[in-house]
Structures are given as C-alpha cells and as structure tokens.
Amino acid sequence: MRFQKAYFENLNMVCHLGGYFAPAYEEVWERAPHTFSQNKFYCIKKGHIRLVIAGVEYEGKAGDWFFIPAGTEHSYSNFPEEPFEKYWMHFDLYPFAALTSLLNLPHKVCYPENGAAEKLFKAYVRLADSKKMTDMITVKAILTALLAEYIRLSHPEEEFSVGNMGDERMDEILDFIRKNLDKPLSVSDLSEKFHFHPNHFIRFFKSRTGQTPARYIKILKMETAKRYLEKTDLYVTEIMEKIGQTDAASFSKQFKSMYSMSPMEYRRYFRQT
C-alpha cells in the first residue's frame, strides 16, 4: 500500500544524547512535571525510581524499560539513599504519530536480563561519543534495533504491519498532504477534496493517525523544516516556503515551542553535536 511505502521511505531516527547513569549515594535525581521536545528511553538496570508519565504513576524497578514520547508531560525522582542505575537515550523519530499513536505503544515494558535491549544499550554506550562515520552509522542502527525491540516486547503476541494502519483513502490523504506542504491545508479544503463532512473527516483522520489533521500537519511541517535545517544549507526563508509558512516570527515561535530552540539555534546545535 502507498501508506506503508511512504511511511518507510520517510522513517528516520536521530539519537542526540544517551548513556549509562548512576547517581552517587544521597544524590538527588528529580524533575517536576515538564515536557521534552525529544523522545526518551529510560531502561532501569538497578534499584528503582518514581515516574509519572501522562498522569500515570509508575514505580520503575530493575527490568523496567520506559518510553516517553516527545511532548508528553512527565516527572521523575529517585530514592537518594538507594543505589540506582539506568541506561537512557534522547532521540527524534519521524514520522512521529504512527509509531506512538497508531501502535498504541505503552509507556513501560519489561525486558529480560542480558537480553537484546541490554546488549544494544551497552553497545550504544561504547560508541555514543565516537566521531567515526562507521560508529555513527552503527549508533543509528542501534536506535532502530532498540525501537524494534521495544515494539516486540510491548506486543509479543502480535505482528504489526504499517500497511494495516490505514486504507486507500488514508493513503491518498497522507500522500496529498506530504506533496502539498507548501500550500494551505485546511480541514474544510481536505474534507471537500476527499468527499467527507468536516466533522467526519476529523474523526476518520484521528482514528488512523492518532492526531487531528491540524496537529498532524503542524508536526509534519515542523519535522520537515527540521530535516532541511539538518541536511541542507537553505536559508530559513527558503525552508519556510517549502512548508507554506510566510510569517517568520510565527514560524520561529512554532519551531521553538516544539524543539526549545529557534531554527538557527537548532541548526548550529545540530552541527556541533
């Protein structure tokens, strides 16, 4: 199906930071409720912690692996007098909605000791700071393998196919959106083009993508701009044209609200890491 082909053609993952963390005795590791612009993995190796993710409280212990999607409110704290060790990773994933909403990934899975997840995290720690091209490619492969392992552990009895997440109309809608990001894409225009009542179109779209059309398009525009900032030397105004943005202040505000940096700050940051 076009949806499946388009999804994997555009699937991309970027690991920004990560490692192995063990606070010193009586060291406090905590953060009040907040959101973060990147996805997080916390893989508990020893001890336990408190986590609240999207309003649900967890007491994470050794063998628990947490996935916190970008933009999800969460908080955490340790027990300072108890040993605590974890693997962690911050990463971007796009297209974002399909793997987080359509697969309905849980915030926590259990991983077996010395299983694939732990071996992958150990390999990541060894290579994370390397500047060798081969190691950087391997790090990207490790992130891909970790995500696949998380999905496998979260749905051990099921085999998912991205092609089963939509139907022909959804294929056509997403294909049209992707090819027309430089144009206005209102709900009324999209629903008329694809022969829906606007309210029905919103419900249909959200049931397939986990997002309203407006939210999906906004995220896709910002992700597309982000990739141009990472991979090209286009001026910001040229990037804005490619995603149908005409107001520089509005574009900068939207980008900063999602990634906590202005477009130019992000480009400088990305090329320094």
Where in the chain are the domains? 2-154, 166-272
User: Which of 54-63, 151-160, 169-178 is predicted least confidently?
Assistant: 151-160
Phi and psi torsions of 247, nearest 5° = -105, 110
pLDDT of 29 over the 70 cut: yes
For the whole model, what pTM was predicted? 0.63
pLDDT band of residue 210 (cuts 50, 70, 90) is low
Residue 268, pLDDT above cutoff 70:
yes
Quick one: pLDDT at residue 38? 85
228-240 tens-digit pLDDT = 998 899 999 999 9
Return the CATH number of 2-154, one of 3.40.50.300, 3.40.228.10, 2.60.120.280, 3.30.465.10. Answer: 2.60.120.280
Rg (CA), the chain: 20
Q: Which amino acid is at 17?
A: L
Cα 248 off chain centre by: 25
- Tell me, rounded to whole angstroms, the distance of Cα 168 from its chain centroid: 26
Quick one: CATH architecture of 166-272? Answer: Orthogonal Bundle (1.10)
The residues with which 272 forms a beta bridge, in sequence order, are none
Same fold, 2-154 and 166-272: no
pLDDT at 119 over 70: yes
- Residue 90, pLDDT > 90, answer yes
